Structure 1
């Protein structure tokens, strides 16, 4: 199925509005912190983390660091998870794990251990679209758009070209 206005659920303007609201929410919950790390899951989660970091810098004085999380999404236990840049320490740091779509929670669940081992102060989750099909005990702290879908439907988020938007497939 192609990206068309028929299956568009969030256009560029709507996504940017959601990102602004999420940035304000992140700041409101963390305004007393010295530092914040946005850890985006490759590829769209990282692109969303970049957009959130830019907006956080516009709405708050919080120092924000970006980190990219890479893992094999279909066989996460058979492959290494990598954090780039590799953090020297996250002790006492708030980390917001960012992904574009929260479906079952599996991808986010497999990333938690890497951050728990780094002894971060608090671990929160931000997602642009929450589909409400939890199979793992994961819920988003910050959600741009909540959408009830069937298991057969898919949500595709495009954040880097002329088809910028969220689509129901």
Structure 2
């Protein structure tokens, strides 16, 4: 059975916020800028963000860090695996670590610490969504797209069991209890 997905943030709201984030980042005047996208969920957000950075005069290099803490599940685990590491030299660079969602914080805390240990000048976290009620690691986003309700979200790169990444909006999976109460969905 296909789950019902309700829209939280539509394409227009996302595009507008990504442009705003790029302007905010540019105002911080980063030097020797490296954007590190945490795969897989952030790939669409990171691509849109670096294009927006270009429009505001930044010329970031881009790298990818593929970490796994979810697998095919819906809850982050404490076991973080490195599937692909950053290959560029990060020594002395201003790094913007880009992820789709800051939830438990384990993955981003792990990634930030790893980059700082490799002598990055600075590591700032850019999270499209922030879900603070699930936070267990001591980390906060330096730049946040949207506050996220405590729901399981999909779309705009985020998935449920490797599905729904292609949705052009961010939605949430409707629980069985909510299904009878809502009418909007995919």
Per the normalisation by structure 2, the TM-score is 0.76
The answer on whether the counterparts of 1:36 and 1:93 sit within 8 Å (CA) in structure 2 is: yes
- Poorly superposed stretches of 4+, deviation over 6 Å: none
2-structure distance, mates of 1:80, 1:126: 20
Q: In structure 1, what is the equivalent of residue 25 of structure 2?
A: 26
The answer on whether the counterparts of 1:81 and 1:111 sit within 8 Å (CA) in structure 2 is: no
- The 5-angstrom pairing of residues 32-111 of structure 1 reads 33-60=30-57, 62-74=58-70, 77=79, 79-84=81-86, 86-87=87-88, 89-111=89-111
Q: In structure 1, what is the equivalent of residue 147 of structure 2?
A: 146
Q: In structure 2, what is the equivalent of residue 168 of structure 1?
A: 172
Which segment drifts farther, 73-82 or 128-137?
Answer: 73-82
Unaligned runs of 5+ in 1: none
Q: In structure 2, what is the equivalent of residue 16 of structure 1?
A: 15
Task: Report the structure number with the largest CA radius of gyration.
Answer: 2
2-structure distance, mates of 1:78, 1:140: 19
Q: In structure 2, what is the equivalent of residue 122 of structure 1?
A: 122
2-structure distance, mates of 1:129, 1:80: 22
The 3-state SS of whatever aligns with 2:45 is helix
2-structure distance, mates of 1:22, 1:79: 29
Per-residue deviation at 1:48? Answer: 1.4
Per the normalisation by structure 1, the TM-score is 0.83
RMSD of aligned residue pairs (Cα, Å): 2.0
Per-residue deviation at 1:77? Answer: 5.0
The alignment covers a number of residue pairs equal to: 157
The answer on whether the counterparts of 1:39 and 1:46 sit within 8 Å (CA) in structure 2 is: no
2-structure distance, mates of 1:105, 1:43: 16
